[in-house]
Amino acid sequence: MFGPVGILAAAAETDPEDVFAVTQKAIASSLKLIMRADDSDGIMGDAIRALLDIHADTAAPAGVSPTTLVTWMIKFQFENECDFFTIDPADYAPALGDKGIARYREQLGEIRDNLGPVSEFNHDKSALEYNDQRLAILDRDVDAIIRTHCLNPENAAWLHDTARALAEIGEYDLAIDWAHRATYFGLSFQSETAANTWCELLAAHRPDDLLAARTDVFRRWPSAKTAAKLHADAGNDWPTVRDDVTAVLAASPADAVSFTLDVIGDLRAAWEQAHELPLTDIDVWLDLIKKYEKIDRLAVLTPLREIVDAELEQANARFYKTVARRVKHMRTLARGSDQAADVDAFIAELRKRHNRRKRLLAEFDRAGLP
């Protein structure tokens, strides 16, 4: 589906009229198709969004009548069986012009007047609210942006939405203030997401304030992810916050080891951390083992043995093939060393301890284990 979309995109600059007409027909056909097809992989949805982008981009150079375009925009949003997609009136503003935008507002007003009492989740109500937001941005109206985006100042997500909308019109100081409010509203996921926007705005417009902000965000949501962002933004100032980050992350061994391994890139230090803290997260251990076995293949045998024991604590046949492969890998690592006999003894002990788990023993046999 992306092949034809790519062809349309490539031809948009040289033949906008034909591309616009073909794209509009393709959108109509695709919307009918997606309502009856399985798009669990999202490919069709992405293609339709790409078509909508082409449609908006070619509307002005194609010289489409504003009246015709308004009719299509209203029908797309309010008379369409498929309501999975949105269009941005701001993207169509060059094609609509002042008169077209005025007509579009009139059409929205008529829909609003005829709407009547509806539930909070009514599609037309949501579409009208979305248009109010986008038109406020088109108008570069700060008061309207705040009114339409911040429906509840006690909601971090809406505070964040307001910040992003203000940034979109270049009101960066206000955007920073609103993102700051959203960040410190609480400790929810929404506030953490807003914190990233806050820091990105500071990086672009108040870089001198960035390090303190990133440090505070890390302290509010200590993790390998926030530590990585602090490390990236700290630059040459990293040594001034390194010890604090290390101490805070120690409370979460998985984050501490992941940060040292993936961000700092110190494999030996990560290995030492994993033993000292100690690390219990199997996924992080496996990532560490995969890398560390290249410099000391025998050292990883002990944590691999502990992982196998942990995976077999409960009788779950889903793990048996994985366990067998893991044990086979242990034999490969130990081959030719003084630990080879210990690994074989471990396998014998596993067979004895789990002699009632026939499927496990069968997987051992299939893996060629003694």
Q: What's the pLDDT score for residue 4?
A: 82
Q: Residue 39 above 90 pLDDT?
A: no
pLDDT band at 92 (very low <50, low <70, confident <90, very high): very high
Q: Tell me if 162 sits within 8 A of 146, measured CB to CB.
A: yes
Per-domain residue ranges for the chain? 296-370
Burial of 256-269, coded b for 16+ CB within 10 Å and e otherwise, reads bbbbbbebbeeeee
pLDDT band at 1 (very low <50, low <70, confident <90, very high): low
Q: Tell me if 5 sits within 8 A of 50, measured CB to CB.
A: yes
Q: Residue 199 above 60 pLDDT?
A: yes
Q: Residue 118 above 90 pLDDT?
A: no
Q: What's the pLDDT score for residue 120?
A: 74
Q: CA 259, CA 228: separation in Å to the nearest integer?
A: 7
Closest CA to 78 of 149, 26, 126, 29: 126
Q: CA 100, CA 82: separation in Å to the nearest integer?
A: 25
In DSSP notation, 119-145 reads: -TT-HHHHHHHHHHHHHHHHHT-HHHH
Directed axis angle between helix 43-59 and helix 2-11, to 10°?
A: 10
Q: What's the pLDDT score for residue 127?
A: 95
Q: Residue for token digits 């007409």?
A: 21
Mean of pLDDT values over 322-327: 96
The helix/strand count (H/E) of the chain reads as: 20, 0
Q: Residue for token digits 């429906």?
A: 151
Mean of pLDDT values over 274-289: 97
State the number of CA atoms in the 13 A half-sphere of 178 facing the CB: 23
Mean of pLDDT values over 352-357: 95
Mean of pLDDT values over 160-180: 98
pTM of the shown model: 0.86
Mean of pLDDT values over 52-81: 96
Q: Which of 39-48, 186-195, 300-309 has the lowest mean pLDDT?
A: 39-48
Question: How confident is the prediction for the chain on average, in pLDDT?
Answer: 95
Closest CA to 23 of 35, 38, 8, 45: 8
In DSSP notation, 321-365 reads: HHHHHHHHHHHHHHTTSTTHHHHHHHHHHHHHHTTT-HHHHHHHH
Q: Residue 2 above 70 pLDDT?
A: no
